[in-house]
Amino acid sequence: MQSKNITRSQELFQQAQSLLPGGVDSPVRAFRSVGSQPLFIDRGEGAYVYDVDGNRYLDYVLSWGPLILGHANHDISRVICTTAQKGTSFGAPIPLELELARRVMGFYPSMERVRFVNSGTEATMSAIRLARAFTHRDLIIKFEGCYHGHTDSFLVQAGSGVATLGLPDSPGVPTVTANQTLIAPFNDLDAVKAIFQSYPHQIAAIIVEPVAGNMGVVPPVEGFLEGLRGLTEEFGALLIFDEVMTGFRVHPGGAQTLYNIKPDLTTLGKVIGGGVPVGAFGGRQAIMDLIAPAGPVYQAGTFSGNPLAMAAGVETLRILENPIVWENLEARSKQLKDGVLSILRKKALNYHLQSAGTMFTLFFTENPVSNWASASLANREKYAQFFRNMLDYGVYLAPSQFEAGFLSSMHGEHEILLTLEAIEQSLV
């Protein structure tokens, strides 16, 4: 293990702090919770990123999930460049929107209509507005530790970003707005039942990450998602699956296919943009037809459906339609998981690796994690040391105990073996 020379990154971060709040444009990038300073990235290639000092890192952040085909995929880069030569934005309909919509619906049949937006936050915000309009109700149920973007309604017990920085519920969120969001522990169906019994005619929707990814990876316990579906049907509320992270990551058809649950609305992002900013929400036609101009619920965006995102998304999903791509991703994910578990047994370390599809988190805690209360017991100092050790071995993990790691199709057997070797040396 040898510490990297990151002089140029340090110089740029010093400059950034006089230009950007905290020196970054998204909080977790600041590396504060791991006792370090951020790397400034120069380029990516396949499974690797290179910082401005020339150091190479095997990347498991992958832009926080979108890069399921790795960095600078040739086919995606080609279609982006070709599309850009024709224009980057028109603020008008383009044929690519229709092609991407058809491909998304092919993977997600529950989405009978889809609206493209620019981010996952826009998608979840719009889905909540739509749910309230459809049900004529105001209250929303979300779960502790689940993150659905930085809209006011969701910055209550909001998981990784807030938890990583040790922040309380965000200042600037009006109390009246926060009071419209009801909180339950993830994987606790009885708590959700109790909320419905207290507000039987006031809850518009449940929004849930079907596999939590923003307190680290936490799969649903048996019967939890089925129970949510049953309760929403019983009380006339909608079920919204936030698959911004899990979409194409836990299964090509998302968690709803993996667990055979049909939500009323689904939000997507990340992967469907192929590395270009994008989001989408969709669901039953009767609900989606309330969106303007088909209906009275207003939602708009100058860059929604922009050519670059649509072209990159079409090419990404075209590649993912090949079942061999997913089979290889699953094989490498299993190789990584089995290898880490073997190391933990050999070293007699009672830490917990939790995974779903191509997502994973190593929790530095003695007990399995099923909700935010158990996730929050993880030893953040041990994770921070592990993160720094792995970085010295050339492996780039998320700079937070409460984030997911991701694999790409470019993480081959060689990359997994390198990662396992680094993990064995880094766990102390």
Position 362 in a domain: yes
**Same domain? 38 vs 165:** no
**Same domain? 333 vs 287:** no
Position 31 in a domain: yes
- pLDDT the model gives residue 157: 54
CA distance 169 to 160: 12
**Same domain? 200 vs 81:** yes
Reduced 3-state DSSP string for 130-167: HHHHHHCCCEEEEECCCCCCCCHHHCCCCCHHHHHHCC
CA distance 342 to 294: 55
Position 1 in a domain: no
Reduced 3-state DSSP string for the chain: CCCCCCHHHHHHHHHHCCCCHHHCCCHHHHCHHHCCCCCCEEEEEECEEEECCCCEEEECCHHHCCCCCCECCHHHHHHHHHHHCCCCCCCCCCHHHHHHHHHHHHHCCCCCEEEEECCHHHHHHHHHHHHHHHHCCCEEEEECCCCCCCCHHHCCCCCHHHHHHCCCCCCCCCHHHHCCEEEECCCCHHHHHHHHHHCCCCEEEEEECCCECCCCCECCCCCHHHHHHHHHHHHCCEEEEECCCCECCCECCHHHHHCCCCCCEEEEEHHHHCCCCCEEEEECHHHHCCECCCCCECCCCCCCCCHHHHHHHHHHHHHHCCHHHHHHHHHHHHHHHHHHHHHHHHHCCCCEEEEECCEEEEECCCCCCCCHHHHCCCCHHHHHHHHHHHHHCCEECCCCCCCCEECCCCCCHHHHHHHHHHHHHHCC
**Same domain? 371 vs 243:** no
CA distance 347 to 340: 11
- pLDDT the model gives residue 170: 63
User: Which residues of the chain register pLDDT less than 50?
Assistant: 158-168
pTM of the model: 0.94
- pLDDT, one tens digit per residue, over 357-368 is 999 999 999 999
131 and 238 in contact (C-beta within 8 Å)?
yes
Q: Please state, as a whole number, how many other Cβ atoms lie within 10 Å of the Cβ of residue 95.
A: 9
Q: HSE (CB half, 13 Å, CA atoms) of 333?
A: 24
C-alpha to C-alpha distances, 21 to 27, 30, 83, 168, nearest whole angstrom: 9, 10, 34, 18
In sequence order, the 6+-apart residues with CB closer than 8 A to the CB of 402 are: 145, 159, 160, 163, 164, 214, 215, 216, 375, 378
**Same domain? 43 vs 124:** no
Q: Please state, as a whole number, how many other Cβ atoms lie within 10 Å of the Cβ of residue 143.
A: 26
**Same domain? 224 vs 131:** yes
- pLDDT, one tens digit per residue, over 326-351 is 999 999 999 999 999 999 999 999 99
256 and 241 in contact (C-beta within 8 Å)?
yes
**Same domain? 295 vs 268:** yes
What CATH number corresponds to the domain at position 258? 3.40.640.10
Position 59 in a domain: yes
**Same domain? 153 vs 293:** yes
- pLDDT the model gives residue 2: 62
| Domain boundary pick from 289, 320, 351 | 320
Please tell me the total count of domains within the chain.
2
**Same domain? 244 vs 359:** no
**Same domain? 422 vs 274:** no
Q: Which residue has tokens 């009672």?
A: 350
CA distance 146 to 245: 11
Catalytic residues: 147, 242, 270
- pLDDT the model gives residue 166: 42
Position 65 in a domain: yes
**Same domain? 114 vs 221:** yes
Q: What single-letter amino acid sits at 107?
A: F
What CATH number corresponds to the domain at position 375? 3.90.1150.10
Question: Which range marks the domain in which residue 402 is found?
Answer: 7-72+323-426
Position 338 in a domain: yes
Position 2 in a domain: no
| Domain boundary pick from 320, 348, 371 | 320
**Same domain? 215 vs 288:** yes
Q: Taking the CA atoms of the chain, what radius of gyration do you get in angstroms?
A: 21
- pLDDT the model gives residue 167: 45
Q: Indicate the burial class of 86 (C-beta count within 10 angstroms; 0-12, 13-18, 19 or more).
A: exposed
| Domain boundary pick from 271, 301, 320 | 320
Position 186 in a domain: yes
- pLDDT the model gives residue 79: 98
Q: Please state, as a whole number, how many other Cβ atoms lie within 10 Å of the Cβ of residue 193.
A: 16
Two tokens, residue 278: 């994008």
CA distance 240 to 37: 37
Q: Indicate the burial class of 31 (C-beta count within 10 angstroms; 0-12, 13-18, 19 or more).
A: buried
- pLDDT the model gives residue 168: 45
